Every structure is written in structure tokens, then in C-alpha cells.
């Protein structure tokens, strides 16, 4: 590999370093790379590259530059000499070809004023006013990171979908110090973790405290997708009279999400979310989120053999001060439940989110109800205190209906429901039914219709 053009060569004229011409430097570099120890400068002088750095220093007084490489000598008198150094050229255009965009530009219709713009332009980069796939970096300032979760995650997600690398503003200044476009890994900005509501954490902690109590009812909630219809179907099946759990690993699949509690031998309870990100044969990989440990995040990898699931928590993504690795877990999968141990501690997980599952255990008996519910849009027409009225639209059916109900801390209890057009019916919904509210991992509001049991 040729290094010509990458290095400058200089000789010392008393106290000032004088550069050789670029053409000379290229010749010196080429011969130096070839191992030549005596290089011609002109008809009177040559470079002696046969000495070590220490030997060069001994030839001069108060000259100890770390880049010393040779001594320039005269052919007619080798003791007439000059110190010579070789220095890698500074690239002042290390942002050349890179396009930058400010996070704050997504929230404003005007340009963002920042001293970083001048720095980026000085070193060859460009700042644009539009977020497109041509943008290389989105810059997030310290003040931007204080935005609310929904706004922040929405903007970061948009950049990520466009293939843009999102970095903190300190990346720019550190590149200037290094005089190079340095690695971005320690400057990456990701979406903020969505906090798990306190009532859900309390629910699982209570379940952990009562984990030793036998329950005569087990409930499984698989999703079914048997046709290509635009509706989404959910099935709730209940078996009674059998207190034992039946081993079944059908629901431990890619993109499934589980939530539960880790209990130490000192009866300390830690809630965690277990996500399956990838499945290759009998190998599984994913993450474990610990909301009560400053939202620490770890990675795991494991093997499923039948219904036996053993995995290792091996890497900390965030929360080095709150969690330790490695940890080894041994467990058995019982359908929508995973139970196991980690040393002297125990843990229990319940399936909370799953892609469509069509498999069911052999020789099993099921009874229950199945309700099909379509996507819908909710519009609020009026509200007074807890009383509320509005319109539900069902795009999959091309229908709509008016509703009235009451608002409480968990959502809307609908007690009056009238379809707008009897000739264009929507899904079958019997009052009363509940419209509940939740937040998905991206921070977006989600509303769900749940029919009320009689």
C-alpha cells in the first residue's frame, strides 16, 4: 500500500522546521517504504535513515522530537548535518462527504442556530434542513435529551428508519480534537426506554409473593391467525380442575415478550421483561430489562431442548452499576409461563406479547370464548366530568358507531352503543364493554376494546 501524500518531511533550520516540497516528500516516502537507508535530496545532500531515534538525538543539542527519522548530511562533509522528521499530514476535511442534521430541526419550522454548524462546515461537512436518507448524522444536543419521552422517541425513531446515525453533540468537538472522523459507538443516542406502569410492577410483585400458592385455574391467551382476513382474532381459553402446569414450549418464539419477577433467597423481588429477539433452531437470543434497577438492560443467549430452556445472561447494555454478569438460568416452559432458577434464586415469567401462534399441545382439551375485534379509530365528541360520548370508526368494516360511557382510571366503560348504519354493521359488540389505554414500546398511545364478561 502506498503512503505517498500521507506524510510530510521536514528539516530543522536552527529552530524552525522547513518542509520539503510535496514531490520530494513523496520520493522520500516511497524509498523509505522500500527500506532504502540513503536517499538523495539534491546534488549536495542526502538523508541518512540508518540511525535509531536515540542515535539521531545524540547528534544534536536540545532536539528530541518524537517524529525524528533521519539526518540530512552533505556528501562532501557528513558532519554538516540537519535533523529530519516525518509527520503524518493533518486531514482538515475529515467531515468531507458527510451530511448532518439537527434533532431540534424536527420540532421547528426555522433553522437551528448552533456554533457546531461553522465547525462542521470548516472541516468539510454539510448541514441540511431536511431529514432524508442522504443524511449521515443527526446531532442531539444536551437540551434535546430533556424532551418528553413521546416526542424524543418519535424523532429518534424517524431518524433510525431513515438509516441515520444519531449522535450526541460532543461527537463533533471530539472529532476536531482527534483531527479525524472518529468511531461513533460511544456517542450513539437511542430511544428512551418506556417505563412500565407502577400498577403492573406491583401486580407481578404480588404474584411473586404468592408464587408458592397453588392455583386451580390456568389461563392461556394465544393469538390465532388462520385466514388472510384483515381482522385480528384473539382467543381466551381456560382449563379448570387441574392445578399442575403442563410443559409446552409452543409460545417461546421470536418477537415474544414475557414479564415476571426474579426472587432472591432473601425474598427480594425484582421485576424484569424478557424479550426473544432471534431464534435459530434451538438457539435463542434476546434482552432482559430490569425497570426497578434503574432500567438496566442485559443480553442473554440460550438453548431450548424440548421444554427445558437454559440461558446465560452474558452482557450489560446499560446499568453497569446496578447489575452483574454472567448469570446462568435453568427453566421449564409451561405454555405461557416460564419457571426456573438462577443459583439459589427463582424466577417466573408470563407471556405478555406474542406474534400469531397456531400450534396447540397434543391431547389437550380447551373450552372458552373467541372474540374477533378489528382495528378502530376513537373520536371524543363531548365530555362532562366522567361522562363521555363519541364515535368509533372501524375501517376494516367501513362502519362507525356512536357511544356513551364513563371515564375512570383504567379507560372508558361504554354502556350505550349505536351503529350508524344497520346495513353496514361493524364487529359484534355487546354493552357494556371497556376501552382501555396503554403505551407501546415506541411511546405511542394504544387503545384496546375489551368485552366485559357477564
Is residue 365, in this structure, part of any structural domain at all? Answer: no
Q: pLDDT, tens digit, for every residue of 33-73? A: 999 999 999 999 999 999 999 999 999 988 989 999 999 99
- Statement to judge: residues 150 and 252 lie in one domain: no
Is residue 398, in this structure, part of any structural domain at all? Answer: yes
Give the domain CATH number at 167.
3.40.50.10190
Q: Which domain holds residue 132?
A: 99-187
**Given pLDDT bands bounded at 50, 70 and 90, which one contains residue 372?**
low
- The secondary structure of residue 35, as a DSSP letter, is T
Is residue 193, in this structure, part of any structural domain at all? Answer: no
- Statement to judge: residues 177 and 125 lie in one domain: yes
SS3 190: coil
Is residue 30, in this structure, part of any structural domain at all? Answer: yes
3-state SS record for 310-373: EEEEEEEEECCCCCCCCEEEEEEEECCEEEEEECCEEEEEEEEECCCCCCCCCCCCCCEEEEEE
What value does the mean pLDDT of the chain take? Answer: 82
| 8 Å CB contact between 216 and 240 | yes
- Statement to judge: residues 160 and 274 lie in one domain: no
Provide the whole-model pTM: 0.35
Query: Of the candidates 30, 63, 88, which is a domain's last residue?
Result: 88
Give the C-alpha separation, 11 to 87, whole Å.
11
Using CB atoms within 10 A of its CB, is residue 293 exposed (0-12), middle (13-18) or buried (19+)?
middle
* 319: its cell numbers: 446499568
pLDDT value at residue 137: 96
pLDDT value at residue 233: 32
**E strand residue ranges, 182-231:** 217-220, 223-224
- Statement to judge: residues 259 and 335 lie in one domain: yes
pLDDT value at residue 320: 85
430 sits in which H/E element: none
- Give the chain's radius of gyration (CA, Å): 34
> In this prediction, what percent of the chain has a pLDDT beyond 90?
37
Closest alpha carbon to 214 in 252, 245, 176, 183: 245
- Statement to judge: residues 170 and 112 lie in one domain: yes
Give the domain CATH number at 270.
2.40.128.120
Q: Which of 124-128, 306-310, 433-437 has the lowest mean pLDDT?
A: 433-437
- Statement to judge: residues 335 and 206 lie in one domain: yes
Query: Of the candidates 307, 324, 359, which is a domain's last residue?
Result: 359
- Statement to judge: residues 203 and 290 lie in one domain: yes
Is residue 238, in this structure, part of any structural domain at all? Answer: no
pLDDT value at residue 397: 81
- Statement to judge: residues 274 and 316 lie in one domain: yes
- Statement to judge: residues 204 and 345 lie in one domain: yes
| Mean pLDDT, range 403-414, rounded to an integer | 88
Is residue 402, in this structure, part of any structural domain at all? Answer: yes
Q: pLDDT, tens digit, for every residue of 225-281? A: 333 323 323 333 333 333 456 777 788 888 888 988 998 888 888 889 999 999 998
- Statement to judge: residues 202 and 351 lie in one domain: yes
| Mean pLDDT, range 186-204, rounded to an integer | 72
- Statement to judge: residues 294 and 441 lie in one domain: no
| Mean pLDDT, range 165-175, rounded to an integer | 92
- Statement to judge: residues 173 and 260 lie in one domain: no
Query: Of the candidates 24, 56, 88, which is a domain's last residue?
Result: 88
Is residue 128, in this structure, part of any structural domain at all? Answer: yes
Number of domains into which the chain is organized: 4
Amino acid at each position: 500500500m502506498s503512503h505517498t501524500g500521507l506524510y510530510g518531511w521536514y528539516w530543522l533550520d536552527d529552530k524552525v522546521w522547513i518542509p520539503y516540497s510535496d514531490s520530494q516528500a513523496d520520493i522520500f516516502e516511497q524509498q523509505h517504504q522500500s527500506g532504502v537507508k540513503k536517499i538523495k535530496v539534491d546534488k549536495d545532500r542526502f538523508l541518512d535513515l540508518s540511525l535509531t531515534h536515540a542515535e539521531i538525538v545524540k547528534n544534536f543539542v536540545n532536539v528530541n522530537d518524537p517524529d525524528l527519522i533521519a539526518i540530512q548530511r552533505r556528501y562532501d562533509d557528513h558532519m554538516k548535518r540537519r535533523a529530519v522528521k516525518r509527520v503524518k499530514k493533518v486531514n482538515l476535511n475529515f467531515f468531507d462527504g458527510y451530511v448532518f442534521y439537527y434533532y431540534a430541526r424536527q420540532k421547528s419550522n426555522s433553522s437551528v442556530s448552533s456554533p457546531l454548524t461553522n465547525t462542521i462546515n470548516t472541516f468539510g461537512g454539510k448541514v441540511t434542513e431536511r431529514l432524508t436518507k442522504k443524511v449521515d448524522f443527526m446531532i442531539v444536543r444536551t437540551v434535546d435529551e430533556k424532551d418528553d419521552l413521546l416526542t424524543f422517541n418519535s424523532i429518534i425513531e424517524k431518524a433510525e428508519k431513515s438509516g441515520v446515525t444519531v449522535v450526541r453533540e460532543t461527537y463533533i468537538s471530539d472529532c476536531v480534537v482527534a483531527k479525524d472522523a472518529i468511531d461513533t459507538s460511544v456517542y450513539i443516542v437511542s430511544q428512551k426506554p418506556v417505563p412500565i406502569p407502577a400498577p403492573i410492577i406491583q401486580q407481578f410483585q404480588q404474584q411473586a409473593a404468592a408464587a408458592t400458592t397453588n392455583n386451580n385455574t390456568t389461563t392461556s391467551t394465544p393469538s390465532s391467525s388462520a385466514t388472510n382476513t384483515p381482522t385480528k382474532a384473539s382467543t381466551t381459553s381456560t382449563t379448570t380442575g387441574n392445578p399442575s402446569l403442563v410443559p409446552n414450549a409452543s409460545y417461546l418464539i421470536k418477537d415474544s415478550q414475557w414479564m415476571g419477577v426474579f426472587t432472591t433467597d432473601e425474598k427480594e423481588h425484582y421485576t424484569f421483561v424478557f424479550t426473544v429477539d432471534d431464534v435459530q433452531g434451538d438457539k435463542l437470543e434476546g434482552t432482559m430489562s430490569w425497570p426497578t434497577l434503574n432500567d438496566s438492560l442485559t443480553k442473554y443467549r440460550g438453548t431450548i431442548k424440548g421444554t427445558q430452556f437454559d440461558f446465560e445472561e452474558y452482557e450489560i447494555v446499560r446499568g453497569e452499576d446496578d447489575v452483574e454478569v454472567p448469570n446462568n438460568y435453568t427453566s421449564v416452559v409451561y405454555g405461557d409461563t416460564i419457571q426456573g432458577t438462577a443459583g439459589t434464586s427463582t424466577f417466573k415469567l408470563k407471556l405478555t406479547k406474542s406474534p400469531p401462534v397456531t400450534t396447540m399441545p397434543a391431547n389437550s382439551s380447551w373450552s372458552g370464548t373467541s372474540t374477533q375485534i378489528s382495528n378502530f379509530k376513537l373520536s371524543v365528541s363531548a365530555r362532562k366530568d366522567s361522562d363521555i360520548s363519541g364515535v368509533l370508526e372501524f375501517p376494516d368494516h367501513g362502519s362507525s358507531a356512536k357511544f356513551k360511557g364513563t371515564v375512570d382510571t383504567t379507560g372508558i366503560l361504554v354502556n350505550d352503543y349505536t351503529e350508524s348504519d344497520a346495513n353496514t354493521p361493524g364487529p359484534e359488540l355487546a354493552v357494556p364493554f371497556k376501552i382501555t389505554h396503554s403505551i407501546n414500546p415506541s411511546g405511542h398511545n394504544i387503545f384496546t376494546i375489551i368485552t366485559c364478561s357477564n
